[in-house]
């Protein structure tokens, strides 16, 4: 009897191939460990310059790993030969800010004026935290990371504006410094936390009621650590409400050929 192949045995291209042939349509968390995963935002060229500016001005939340030329679906730097129109498990299609479709491939929506942005993702640093023996609670609990709209406003750019969205991971007090140190070393995956121990400083009232994702347990000797989150970009795109926007479905990321230790931005 053959056991099901677990992600730990796959490399990035194998994961992308499973997306392309339709056999993978679920989240990519934990797949192809050690490979950098990325958020995907696809926008018409008419608003792409302003969106790039938004990312440039909010680099902790929106670290730009690669941008493609209008009409190009191959991220030549992150994964030569890949096609962002079919190599992710699932997509969200927005029209004027409203989610209208959640397809597993987006060729039918493709246009020659579409520009693809690949942005850093916290999955990369979570792997680094785990390897260092630090807890990652939502992985332990088998749920999504809790995320909160903070009261901190992003720097705006054209129509793109909105709150800084943060993800929260509790850490034992004795391991907080190590968690800061490790994540500071991966600026392409949001870098160091933006806040620790004081949710009220970010306008967060109830840690058990996240705006996105799932609540997680916080032990008595633990502090909540808050990192800038890629959902910041998705919120800004939703609020800007361009005529068309396509993103990855939350948690269904683009798995790149880059390794976590590579210099990416």
Q: What angle do CA 82, 87, 91 make, to 5 degrees?
A: 135
Quick check: 245 binds a second copy (CB under 8 A)?
Answer: no
Quick one: 99 or 184, whose CB is closer to a second copy? 184
| Distance of closest approach, residue 158 Cβ to a second copy, in angstroms | 7
For a second copy, give the closer residue by CB, 10 or 66.
Answer: 66
Can residue 115 be called a binding residue for a second copy (CB under 8 A)? yes
> Exactly one of 49, 132, 143, 241 binds a second copy (CB under 8 A); which one?
49
12 contacts 32 by C-beta, under 8 angstroms: yes
- Site map for a second copy, 75-94, x if CB under 8 A? --x-----------------
Give the residue with the Cβ less far from a second copy, 77 or 178: 77
Q: Whole-number minimum distance, CB 263 to a second copy, in Å?
A: 8
Question: Which segments of the chain does DSSP mark as H helices, in order?
Answer: 12-20, 45-57, 123-131, 137-140, 176-184, 231-240
105, 138, 213 from 142: Cα distances, Å: 26, 6, 12
| Beta carbons of 240 and 97 less than 8 angstroms apart | yes
Half-sphere exposure of 42 (CA within 13 A, CB side): 29
Among 53, 182, 201, 207, binds a second copy (CB under 8 A): 53
Binding status of residue 99 toward a second copy by CB under 8 A:
no
Q: Which is nearer to a second copy, 53 or 223 (CB)?
A: 53
* Identified binder of a second copy from the candidate list 36, 38, 52, 86, rule CB under 8 A: 52
Three-state SS string across 60-127, please?
CCCCEEEECCCCCCCCCCCCCCCCCCCCCCCEEEEECCEEEECCCCCHHHCCCCEEEEEEECCHHHHH
**DSSP H or E segment with residue 216:** none
69 binding a second copy? (CB under 8 A): yes
Q: Is residue 192 involved in binding a second copy (CB under 8 A)?
A: no
45 near a second copy, rule: CB under 8 A: yes
Q: Distance between CA atoms of 51 and 119, rounded to whole angstroms?
A: 12
> If binding is defined by CB under 8 A, does position 178 make contact with a second copy?
no
Q: Per rule CB under 8 A, is residue 57 in the interface with a second copy?
A: yes
Q: Is 35 helix (H, G, I), strand (E, B) or coil?
A: strand
| CB of 168 closer than 8 Å to CB of 179 | no
Among 13, 30, 50, 182, binds a second copy (CB under 8 A): 50
Q: Site residues (CB under 8 A) for a second copy? A: 45, 48-50, 52-53, 56-57, 64, 66-67, 69-70, 77, 115, 157-158, 265
């Amino acid at each position: 009897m053959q056991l099901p192949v677990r992600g730990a045995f796959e490399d990035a291209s194998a994961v992308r191939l499973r997306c392309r042939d339709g056999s993978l349509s679920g989240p990519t968390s934990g797949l192809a460990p050690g490979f950098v995963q990325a958020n995907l935002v696809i926008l018409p060229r008419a608003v792409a310059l302003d969106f790039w500016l938004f990312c440039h001005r909010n680099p902790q939340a929106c670290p730009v790993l690669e941008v493609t030329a209008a009409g190009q679906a191959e991220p030549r730097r992150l994964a030569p030969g890949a096609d962002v129109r079919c190599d992710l498990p699932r997509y969200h299609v927005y029209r004027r800010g409203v989610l209208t479709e959640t397809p597993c491939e987006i060729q039918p929506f493709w246009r020659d004026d579409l520009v693809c942005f690949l942005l850093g993702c916290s999955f990369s640093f979570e792997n680094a935290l785990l390897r260092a023996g630090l807890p990652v609670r939502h992985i332990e609990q088998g749920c999504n990371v809790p995320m909160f709209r903070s009261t901190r406003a992003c720097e705006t750019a054209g129509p793109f504006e909105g709150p800084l969205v943060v993800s929260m991971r509790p850490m034992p007090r004795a391991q907080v410094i190590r968690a800061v140190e490790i994540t500071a070393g991966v600026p392409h995956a949001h870098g160091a936390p933006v806040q620790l121990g004081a949710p009220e400083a970010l306008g967060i009232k109830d840690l058990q009621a996240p705006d996105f994702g799932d609540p997680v347990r916080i032990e008595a000797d633990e502090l909540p650590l808050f990192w800038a989150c890629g959902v910041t970009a998705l919120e800004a795109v939703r609020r800007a409400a361009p005529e068309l926007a396509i993103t990855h479905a939350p948690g269904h990321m683009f798995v790149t050929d880059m390794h976590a230790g590579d210099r990416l931005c």
